[in-house]
Amino acid sequence: MHSTQTPSASSGSIAVVGAGIVGLAHAYLAVRRGLRVTLVDEDSGPRGASVRNFGHCCITGQTGAFASLAEAGREHWLAAASAAGFWARESGAYVAAASAQELRVLAEAAEAKGTDRIRLVDGEEITRALGSRATSAVGGAHLPLDLRVDPRTAAPRLAAWLHAHPAVTMRMDTRALSVTDGGVHTTRGFLAADHTFVCTGHHLRGLLPDLAADAGIRECALQMALVDAPAHFTTDAAILTGTSLLRYDAFATMPAAQDLREHMEETAPALMAAGANVMVTRRPDGSLLVGDSHAYAPSTAPFLDEDTTDLLLESARSVLGAQPLRVRQRWQGVYASSETRPLVLAPVGAHATAVTVATGVGMTLAFGLAAHTLEALHTGSPAAAAPAG
Ligand SMILES: Cc1cc2nc3c(=O)[nH]c(=O)nc-3n(C[C@H](O)[C@H](O)[C@H](O)COP(=O)(O)OP(=O)(O)OC[C@H]3O[C@@H](n4cnc5c(N)ncnc54)[C@H](O)[C@@H]3O)c2cc1C
């Protein structure tokens, strides 16, 4: 079948290389469509960017095609959480704004997106959400469409659900060596499939070096910490800050963003130099994920910079209106980045597709993207580009 046809419901087989959230979403939605799936990962389970992030589906922050993918993925995230039994909350996100410049960006974004999607809130509400009058925030916005999941358990539980499914064959500790029209050559032999999805994140260059070079794929390294939550902080909503407004297009493309950038360069040069996106999310056990910085290189150095961690912690502490935060863990996350192609959705021969999110929103896009590529495969155009926005 693989030479002339694409898989059809209840008869086809697909291989998925990579058990991060992008590969898992493809495997999950393929099973839901009645396909047989072989899932291959060189590690023993999800260990990459998909377990190292904030667990924030930043749906409202997207524009164009990414907004369509993010919104389309929302229902699938919730259905997958319910099926696989992982923690997910429709708690949305708060942007805690500390300056008039931030408030202006939010007001413009609310006008552009609609006040039902970006609901401006006053100082009282943001204080209530954060649980502290000592916060540096003076107002902000609530983004009700955004979702929260727990990054430490969402991908592993989805992988466990797939492992138990009769239509799925898991090949962990197995490295894909090359992809052909009939399947995947791996360190444990050849795995036949009608169609293969290559979802290897920033490792794309290991398997498909020419495609990775063409797409300008490099690595982005981020510093993160897990801290004890101050007793007053109880919201499951993600907390975004002024630096976040410079990173997500729904805010960063607003006319007032330029003023905000200049204001931040002047008042917070160290945060800007670190490429910070100061954010806080709460895990189900009450601990807080705090980050992050951004450093770009073809291949990033593994070392964590203590000054950067201190900077991020102090900035988060000030927004939370808390005492100094006690760190339990620190780690580095790495994701794929490209200045020219934030999404690589490319044919590899006639019967394989490479799917790499090359910017920091893979959790947000994974399910919408998988729904899109599987639908394109079903309709016979597997190499289709991302949907129009
Ligand atoms: C610190 C941090 C914070 C972030 N915060 C957010 C956030 O809040 N919201 C959001 O939307 N996104 C966020 N992101 C981005 C998001 O985490 C990533 O975009 C997403 O996890 C990428 O998923 P993936 O499946 O493509 O890659 P990965 O999770 O890296 O998975 C790739 C998998 O492929 C496997 N693999 C690679 N090569 C091979 C091979 N040859 N053979 C077999 N297996 C192979 C690897 O072992 C790995 O398991 C964040 C990222 C980081 C690092």
* pLDDT tens string 183-218: 999 999 999 999 999 999 999 999 999 999 999 999
Least confident among 119-123, 221-225, 356-360, 377-381: 377-381
pLDDT, tens digit, 9 for 90 and up, residues 148-157: 999 999 999 9
Per-residue model confidence (pLDDT) at position 140: 98
Closest CA to ligand 1's atom 22: 362
Residues 57, 353: Cα–Cα separation, whole Å: 24
What's the topology of domain 93-144+218-337?
A: D-Amino Acid Oxidase; Chain A, domain 2 (3.30.9)
Per-residue model confidence (pLDDT) at position 134: 84
CATH number, span 1-90+148-215+339-389 = 3.50.50.60
Domain ranges of the chain: 1-90+148-215+339-389, 93-144+218-337
Q: Which residue has the tokens 């990033």?
A: 300
Q: Which residue has the tokens 């050849």?
A: 190
Give the list of residues 6+ apart from residue 4 with CB closer than 8 angstroms, or none: none
Atom of ligand 1 nearest to the CA of 19: 49
Q: What is the mean pLDDT of residues 302-328?
A: 95
- Whether the pLDDT of residue 378 is over 70: the answer is yes
User: From the CA of 100, how far away is ligand 1's center (Å)?
Assistant: 35
pLDDT, tens digit, 9 for 90 and up, residues 100-146: 999 999 999 999 999 999 999 999 999 999 998 888 989 999 999 99
User: From the CA of 20, how far away is ligand 1's center (Å)?
Assistant: 5
Q: Return the best residue to mutate from 16, 24, 41 for the ligand 1 pocket (most ligand atoms within 8 A of CB).
A: 41
The size of the chain, in residues, is 389
Closest CA to ligand 1's atom 2: 53
Neighbours of 145 (CB within 10 A): 18
Neighbours of 330 (CB within 10 A): 16
pLDDT, tens digit, 9 for 90 and up, residues 71-103: 999 999 999 999 999 999 999 999 999 999 999
Cβ–Cβ under 8 Å, residues 226 and 352 = no
User: From the CA of 219, how far away is ligand 1's center (Å)?
Assistant: 11
7 falls in which pLDDT band (50, 70, 90)? very low
- Whether the pLDDT of residue 8 is over 80: the answer is no
Lookup: tokens for 22: 């992008």
How far apart are the two ends of the chain, measured CA to CA in Å?
34
Per-residue model confidence (pLDDT) at position 18: 98
User: From the CA of 275, how far away is ligand 1's center (Å)?
Assistant: 19
Neighbours of 167 (CB within 10 A): 15
Mean pLDDT of the chain: 94
380 falls in which pLDDT band (50, 70, 90)? confident
Q: Which residues line ligand 1 (CB under 6 A)?
A: 17-23, 40-43, 46-50, 52-54, 56, 58, 175-176, 199-201, 203, 206-207, 222, 224, 291-292, 333-335, 357, 360-364
- Whether the pLDDT of residue 10 is over 50: the answer is no
- Whether the pLDDT of residue 55 is over 90: the answer is yes
Per-residue model confidence (pLDDT) at position 387: 60
- Whether the pLDDT of residue 30 is over 90: the answer is yes
Neighbours of 133 (CB within 10 A): 10
